[in-house]
Chains A and B, each alone.
Chain A
Amino acid sequence: MTQAKQTTNVFSPWLNRDNKPLIKFENITKKFGDFTAVENFNLEIYEKEFFALLGSSGGGKSTVLRMLAGFEQPTSGKIWLDGEEISNTPPNERPINMMFQSYALFPHLNVWDNIAFGLKRTKKRMASSDIKARVEEMLRLTQLEKFASRKPHQISGGQRQRVALARSLAREPRLLLLDEPLGALDKKLRQETQFELMDIQEKTGTTFVIVTHDQEEAMTMASRVAVMDNGKLLQVDTPNNVYEAPNSTYVANFIGDINIIEGEAKIDAEGLLSIHYSETAAPIQTENTNNQIHDGQSVSFAVRPEKIWIAKEQDVSLPNNVKGLIVDIAYLGNLSIYHIKLESGQVISAQMTNILRTGQQEFTWDDEVWLNWNDTAGIVLTR
């Protein structure tokens, strides 16, 4: 009973096979001349999701967004919206709006007219009183009431960002696309705006698809994250799963910091997995979560720095104990990052939270320490 209640509380429409996706990419390939920007792309996005496309620049995520908006047509494959094919529908006939990276505010129109622009161009003509009401609602939502008569160049960057958001939301799109929406803001404002965006998304119930290269941004806001590289989709999952269970070393490296140790997998008679990475060091003991690993395969063991415990003494209660020397310390205030050189030569980074406010840090340069971690701390990757 309690179990069932929990699953309905958490927003995860992608888990239910009966749910129809709002957007469906079907074998989409996009080529610009010889260059393949997006290759054999399949993805389903559900209603009310806050979906993030994450990847380094040139990875194809912007092309995906532009195909959704209608600025680019796929070379092959189909895009569906609500079960209707929209692959070649022009942008002005899609119930989709976009917030541009440059905001693309019309410089000759004031804030009010910028927001009203799309409302004056709806298929079914809106009454001017309705337009007025809608613009005012948008101004309230984005707290821009005071700036309605200003021109875009007379307001700050953060305000411009909100005008762009209000303008793209005004037409009540089925889907809102956001191209690096926070890219032009400074760090502090960016963090505030992240929460504002989530708030607005929840209030309006609009489906958001956001393109970003900032993994923190994607992790903070998104219900699901798609990691792209070289025009290919590498992994689509919740931020938690992408972080804790990356499916490739690229994803593992792209999202947060991680230690990757390459070695050979050995599976003993009881089915326990160990990874031999050095002739002298003891093999790494780890849980076997990936059934496809066979004995003798070369694999990568990936473990996040915060999951490694640094101790002065060996802790035999944990399955993994490795001795090393501290070569570098980065003090970040809330935590410190230690770089520890193992006897086998690898440099491992480990994180410790700085719990004590006063007193000496426990470890310093050239200290000999033991790194301990559990057999569930890391993940074994085959690609």
Chain B
Amino acid sequence: MNIRRFTLIFTPYFWLIALFLIPFIIVFKISLSDPALAIPPYTPNFDLSGGWSAIGTFFSQLDFENYEFLLTDDLYWKSYLTSIKIAFFSTVFTLIVAFPIAYGIAKAPLHLRPMLMMLIILPFWTSFLIRVYSWIGILANEGILNNFLLWIGIIDQPLRLINTNIAVYIGIVYTYLPFMILPIYANLEKMDSSLIEAAEDLGCSRIGAFWSITLPMAKSGIVAGCMLVFIPAIGEFVIPSLLGGSSTNMIGKVLWGEFFSNRDWPVASSVAVVLLAILMIPIILFQRHQQKENMNE
């Protein structure tokens, strides 16, 4: 095998090994350790200088008690459930908002499409953190939205939006909207418009043609978009901590608390490993779906 081919093939593997596998092994190892008042704050530490016997004691000190602990305290599994619930509903809301936008862009005149796409991508030019912060200004009791609603007289008391789950949903939908729009748009855009005409010709109403042709044809885009929103939304930390209240216990927040407030790295690591395991399920389902799609093409 020549050097060129080897480099080409090995580079992505190197990337995965260096930036995913090794860090994961370290995290997994920490999750099997016990907390300690030391630097780093866990024990045992891997030490080659002690010879074979030291390595043996090292492995004998690793155990699964942190995982058992996650089961005893309901904070953890409740947070996982909350995260899944919030991620699920935000995905649904994002889909509801994104589909008409993607459809509208795909049906827009050809010369307008690049500009509309640009507008979708434009928010990425500003830091994600700043955009989430600005939602505080919008949703606060004295914020823009409440002031506006009070001014036009729809409400006479400010709505409590900030520090609620509603604010978290708004934040996630807003942040992940482009990830939903882009794959759906890519799907709808390459759809042959004569398919809709054919459906109408064969007896479908406009709405009937949408349900029996447009939607099934956009399925792979919808699935891809949902995965792109659902997976990062489960582990989301910034949005619930900035916009959510103390009652919004998403697993990202719990993990952060274990790491930085409790300085309990082993428990934090085990929370992270379990989260990864949970995320594997949709990722595997997604992969399977993609594979099936590819087989069909």
Contact = CB atoms under 8 A, between A and B. Distances in A.
Q: Do the two chains bind?
A: yes
A122 B200 CA distance: 12
A312 interface: no
A232 to B, nearest CB: 26
Contact of A117 (B192, B202, B205, B296): B202
B96 interface: no
B201 A108 contact: no
B202 A97 contact: yes
B200 A104 contact: no
B92 interface: no
A104 B199 CA distance: 9
Interface residues of A, number: 26
A92 B195 contact: no
Contacts, number: 63
A104 B194 contact: yes
B216 interface: yes
A100 B194 contact: yes
B153 interface: no
A107 interface: yes
Contacts of B213: 106
A288 B212 CA distance: 62
B198 interface: yes
A77 interface: no
A357 to B, nearest CB: 49
Contacts of B219: 108
A99 to B, nearest CB: 9
A118 interface: yes
A97 B203 CA distance: 9
B197 interface: yes
A231 to B, nearest CB: 22
A91 B212 CA distance: 16
A108 B217 contact: yes
Interface in A75-119: 90-92, 96-98, 100-102, 104, 106-108, 117-118
A121 B216 contact: no
Contact of B203 (A108, A153, A171): A171
A121 B213 CA distance: 13
Interface string A121-141: 111000000000000000000
A102 B192 contact: yes
Contacts of B204: 92, 121
Contacts of A101: 194
Nearest to B205: A92
A171 B138 CA distance: 57
A187 to B, nearest CB: 25
Interface in B181-205: 192, 194-195, 197-205
A171 B202 contact: yes
Given A92-B204, A92-B208, A117-B202, 17 more contacts: A69-B201, A70-B200, A70-B201, A71-B200, A90-B200, A98-B197, A100-B198, A101-B194, A104-B194, A104-B195, A104-B198, A106-B198, A106-B213, A118-B202, A121-B203, A121-B208, A153-B297
User: Top 3 closest A-B pairs, CB basis?
Assistant: A118-B202, A121-B203, A104-B198
Interface of A: 69-71, 90-92, 96-98, 100-102, 104, 106-108, 117-118, 121-123, 151, 153, 167-168, 171
15 contacts: A70-B200, A91-B200, A92-B200, A92-B208, A100-B194, A101-B194, A102-B192, A106-B195, A106-B199, A107-B217, A117-B202, A121-B202, A153-B296, A167-B202, A168-B201
